[in-house]
Structure 1
Amino acid sequence: MDEFGRAFGLAVAMILRADPDLVAIVGLSLRVSLTAAGLGFVLGAPLGALLAATRFPGRGALLVLVNALLGLPPVVVGLVLYLLVSRSGPLGSLGLLFTPGAMVIAQGALALPIVAALSHRTCEALWAEYGDSLRVDGVGTGHAALILLAMAPAPLVTAFLAAFGRAIAEVGAILMVGGNIRGYTRTMTTSIALETSRGDLALALGLGLVLLSLTLAVSAAAFGINRVAASPRG
């Protein structure tokens, strides 16, 4: 217990004095995860809206697949991406292995199904209400999908925050394709695992506190946005 108390005190001190190693790791984590969440949003939101506004053979199976991918194991994503971008893989010439770019792709692959599923759920409800009117007005499928997205700013922000929360807390995939290289691909989650195994509990706890704070902030923001969106306007 005394050891934990000392480590916790050192962790708080590191945060308060903005320890350079801690700041660098947090900064890289935020850049990678925000970019990955943005990538997942740009691809996932239109996909969800299109699935809501269109009917075609196999649509049900595609929806099942999108929802199933919500539970996609990160290590499987990491393994597949590793095989693709390794030197002997089909994309090996791009030199992505053990780079932040590979980490963005891995986290983006995990974020995309979340955005697609949440966007589809929102747009499906809007399509049920406004779909007939859009069809009568002769609005094309792509345009209709954009209209549905424009009608749901709050749920879309929530979807982005959910994607970011998934990305920032991920460790397995980015460890496999990023390599946990100090000063280059070492993020909060991979650092926590490494420093704990090394016995550097102060840095691990400091990063853990920052990560926990970010997670709580994302959850609070999503809750607040949904509450404001659901409140009656008078």
Structure 2
Amino acid sequence: MDFLLESLIQALQLILSYDPEVYMTVWTSLYVSSIAIILASLVGIPTGLLIGTCQFPGKRIVITLLNTLMALPTVVVGLVCYGFFSRMGPLGSWGLLFTPWAMVIGQVILATPIIANYTIGALSAADKRIIPTALTLGASSFQSSLQLLQEIRFGAMAAIIAGFGRVVAEVGVAMMLGGNIRGFTRTMTTAIALETSKGEFAFGLALGLFLMTVALLVNLFLNLLQQR
């Protein structure tokens, strides 16, 4: 018990003293995850709108596939992307491996199915007359889709928040594609794993406190949106 208490005190000292390595790690994690969730939203929300509003053969299969991809293991995504980005891979010449952009791409793959599924779920609760009414009033297909998106904006925001919560706490993609390079690709999750294995429990605990705070804020915001 004394060990845990001493480690907690040291962790708080690292946070309150604005330890540069702690805050650089936190910044890298939030920076990569924020870019990833923006890109995933640009793909996932239109995909969800398209699937949710259109009727086509195999729609149920596509939705089932999206549901499956929501539980996609992060290490599998990291493994596949590593194969593409390594020197012997088809995209090896791009030099993406062990860079923040490699982590962004992996996290986009993780978050996109979540955002698309949440969007489809929000559409199922929306008024089915929105698009026909907008088209009747002279709106174009694009304008009617924007109107529908306006109606499900809280569901779309919930989708984005849920996707962010998924990527900011993952470790497989960040470790395999980022390489955990100090001051460059080291995120909160990879640093916690590394520093704890080295015996730097207080440093890992400081980052764990940051990560728990981010997770708490994300969930509080998500619950607020669901209540709305």
- TM-score (structure 1 length as normaliser): 0.92
Please state whether the residue corresponding to 1:10 is helix, strand or coil. helix
1:79 CA drift (Å) = 0.6
| Cα pair distance change 1:210/1:49, threshold 3 Å | same
Q: Is 1:170 aligned to residue 155 of structure 2?
A: no
1:156 CA drift (Å) = 1.4
The equivalent of 1:57 in structure 2 is 57
1:160 CA drift (Å) = 1.0
Structure 1 vs Structure 2 CA RMSD: 1.5
Please state whether the residue corresponding to 1:18 is helix, strand or coil. coil
With 127-136 and 171-180 compared, the bigger mean Cα shift is at 127-136
The superposition leaves residues 149-182 of structure 1 with CA deviations (integer Å, 9 ceiling, x where unpaired) of 1222222111111111001000011111111111
Whether the 8 Å contact between 1:49 and 1:124 is mirrored in structure 2 is no
The equivalent of 1:113 in structure 2 is 113
The equivalent of 2:41 in structure 1 is 41
User: Which AA in structure 2 matches 1:69?
Assistant: L
1:139 CA drift (Å) = 5.5
CA distance in 1, matches of 2:119, 2:129: 16
CA distance in 2, matches of 1:132, 1:144: 8
User: Which AA in structure 2 matches 1:159?
Assistant: A
Percent of matched pairs sharing the same residue: 43
CA distance in 1, matches of 2:56, 2:139: 17
Whether the 8 Å contact between 1:49 and 1:146 is mirrored in structure 2 is no
The equivalent of 1:91 in structure 2 is 91
The superposition leaves residues 91-143 of structure 1 with CA deviations (integer Å, 9 ceiling, x where unpaired) of 11111000000001111111111100001111233253434434545766554
Please state whether the residue corresponding to 1:185 is helix, strand or coil. coil
Q: Which runs of 5+ in 2 are unaligned?
A: none
Whether the 8 Å contact between 1:50 and 1:141 is mirrored in structure 2 is no
Whether the 8 Å contact between 1:118 and 1:159 is mirrored in structure 2 is yes
- TM-score (structure 2 length as normaliser): 0.94
Q: Is 1:202 aligned to residue 202 of structure 2?
A: yes
User: Which AA in structure 2 matches 1:41?
Assistant: S
| Cα pair distance change 1:138/1:50, threshold 3 Å | farther
CA distance in 1, matches of 2:165, 2:107: 10
Please state whether the residue corresponding to 2:128 is helix, strand or coil. helix
Count of residue pairs the alignment pairs up:
228
The equivalent of 2:102 in structure 1 is 102
CA distance in 2, matches of 1:129, 1:67: 26
Whether the 8 Å contact between 1:49 and 1:123 is mirrored in structure 2 is yes
User: Which AA in structure 2 matches 1:27?
Assistant: W
| Cα pair distance change 1:49/1:127, threshold 3 Å | farther
Whether the 8 Å contact between 1:53 and 1:144 is mirrored in structure 2 is no
User: Which AA in structure 1 matches 2:16?
Assistant: L
Whether the 8 Å contact between 1:53 and 1:131 is mirrored in structure 2 is no
1:45 CA drift (Å) = 0.5
Please state whether the residue corresponding to 2:70 is helix, strand or coil. helix
User: Which AA in structure 2 matches 1:98?
Assistant: F
Please state whether the residue corresponding to 2:126 is helix, strand or coil. helix
CA distance in 2, matches of 1:50, 1:142: 11
Q: Which runs of 5+ in 1 are unaligned?
A: 230-234
| Cα pair distance change 1:117/1:72, threshold 3 Å | same
The superposition leaves residues 31-54 of structure 1 with CA deviations (integer Å, 9 ceiling, x where unpaired) of 001111111111000100111111
The equivalent of 1:31 in structure 2 is 31
